[in-house]
Amino acid sequence: MKRIFFGLLLLVSGNAIPCTTAIISGKSTPDGRPLLWKHRDTDVFDNKVVYDTGSHYKYLALINSNDPNRHVWAGTNSAGFAIMNSASYNIKVEGDSTKTEDMEGYIMKLALGCCATVTDFAQLLDTLTKPWGVSANFGVIDAKGGAGYFEVNNFSYRFFDANNPNDAPEGYLIRTNFSVSGKANEGAGYIRFDTASNLFHEAKAAGQLTPEFLLTQASLSLRQDITGTDLSREVSKLDKIYSLHDFIVRYHSSSTVVVQGVLPGEPTDFSTMWVKLGFQPASVAIPLWVGAGGAIPQLITAPETQNAKLCDFTLKLKKQCFPLDAWDEGQNYVALNKLINREQSGLIQLTTIFDREIIARTKLLFDRWKRFEYNPTEAANFCMELNSDIEGFYKTHFDL
């Protein structure tokens, strides 16, 4: 493979904020398909989805709306390969004075364009000129059942295999903002890691490691397990402010991507990329397929550096949830009744009902494809139908 040089490439910022992520082996999911989950936190709140073509494969990707280079923060391609990352703050080697940094989005864009397997991604890293300019946990799945994390610093990487019981005793791996191969008790995200670990353990015991769990529970969790806090039990009519410090959902939460991989023998562009674009409690789950030929609901995409309409919707609704956000420390405090309340009109309550409706409709379509064959035209039409339904949902429930 031709060696690739970074030169003086500069990226827009946006990855150096905590994320909560997971890779789940198909051995631990009810239907045998691997799952990738990224609950993205960033200071670039305007995200959108694009359809693009790389050196070998077409792909769907989550990007920052203001990025003309379309660097990728999660995505899947026509070969059934999917990738995402979380920033790692304990993996940099001692004495590393590398000035190049924040190259994760560039590397993931390259990977979606040319990688079909987990092994391909390792080979891609091996072709890149060092230092790589990264400090990250890259989560990957592929159409052959490959699933795991590459913990990567500027000069080396270590792979953790979600299919290997030594690496993943429960069949899944979780990463926040530290690496297992990094310096012990350094980095960040240990509290979110603890909460996510408990949520996943409970979901596996119930046989519910599914896209629905990731979209409607893990990405909307109001638990913080270190302190034993569960805000979902604090339903109140009062305009009371609660701390949201070290929760999975937070002020900087900007989008969720879930990729459900394929089984052997299924079309590789049949993998489903679910997106909750923007502030997750105010957003809704939308399924996408690379094989639909670039059919993306207009609400979640936009040309050039323009913003996606759904992201704008969610940011307006988010503003109501954080009345103290003019102060940096105020961003840790939420008006809980905007998320959940006794009247069942909170953002999480309304969007979760609609999420489950979309997931149920998608399952009917998906089950028909499994019995007969994947229909790209039907997938494209369904995306357009959802666009209209989602616009109707927001007009009905919110004054936007």
Band of residue 104 on the pLDDT scale cut at 50, 70, 90: very high
Mean pLDDT of 278-304: 97
Q: Are strands 58-64 and 47-53 parallel, antiparallel or unpaired?
A: antiparallel
| Cβ atoms of 21 and 175 closer than 8 Å | yes
The neighbour count for residue 103, using CB atoms within 10 Å, is 23
Q: Average pLDDT for residues 21-36, to the nearest whole number?
A: 98
DSSP 272-286: EEEEEESSGGG--EE
- pLDDT (0 to 100) of residue 305: 96
What local confidence, expressed as pLDDT, does residue 15 receive? 42
Asked if residue 189 lies in contact with residue 177, where contact means CB atoms within 8 angstroms, the answer is yes
Segment 25-38 mean pLDDT: 98
Count other Cβ atoms within 10 Å, centred on residue 180: 16
* pLDDT for position 58: 98
Rounded to the nearest integer, the mean pLDDT of the chain is 94
Is 1.10.10.10 the CATH classification of the domain at 20-203+225-397? no
Per-residue confidence band for 5, with pLDDT thresholds at 50, 70 and 90:
very low
Confidence of residue 8 (pLDDT cuts 50, 70, 90): very low
In percent, the amount of the chain with pLDDT more than 90 equals: 90
Q: How far apart are CA 152 and CA 213, in angstroms?
A: 28
Residue 302 binned pLDDT confidence (cut-offs 50, 70, 90): very high
d(CA 343, CA 67): 40
Query: At 21, which helix (H) or strand (E)?
Result: strand 20-24
Q: Are 111 and 239 in contact (CB under 8 A)?
A: no
> CA nearest 176: which of 19, 40, 41?
19
Question: Which pTM does this prediction carry?
Answer: 0.95
Higher pLDDT, 1 or 46: 46
Question: What number is the average pLDDT over the span 304-315?
Answer: 98
